[in-house]
Amino acid sequence: MLSFLFRLIRTFRNEHGVAPNVLYMNDFHYQKLHESLPEMPGYEQIARFLKLEIVISAEAVHPHAAWVDPAQRRSARG
């Protein structure tokens, strides 16, 4: 899972000229990611390690990376 995500992040950066700051994935993929990082007990540690906010969504059939304006992310949270 990690090698797939690192390729996904690198491809996004190469195509858009900016590193992604959000990773969308479903529960199954997040569980697989968590299993591949057993030394990281939770979401915050994994997100910090990847340097991405992780959004878990049932609609994310495949993991995908995105860049979301930080101001928009703050306003969406309330």
d(CA 24, CA 39): 22
3-state secondary structure of 75: helix
- Whether residue 77 is predicted with pLDDT greater than 90 in this model: the reply is no
In contact, 67 and 20? CB cutoff 8 Å: yes
- Whether residue 56 is predicted with pLDDT greater than 70 in this model: the reply is yes
pTM: 0.85
Taking residues 55-69, report their average pLDDT: 96
In contact, 37 and 68? CB cutoff 8 Å: no
> Quick one: pLDDT band at residue 71, thresholds 50, 70, 90?
confident
Helix (H) or strand (E) holding 23, with range, is strand 22-25
d(CA 34, CA 42): 8
Q: What percent of the chain lies above the pLDDT cut of 70?
A: 92
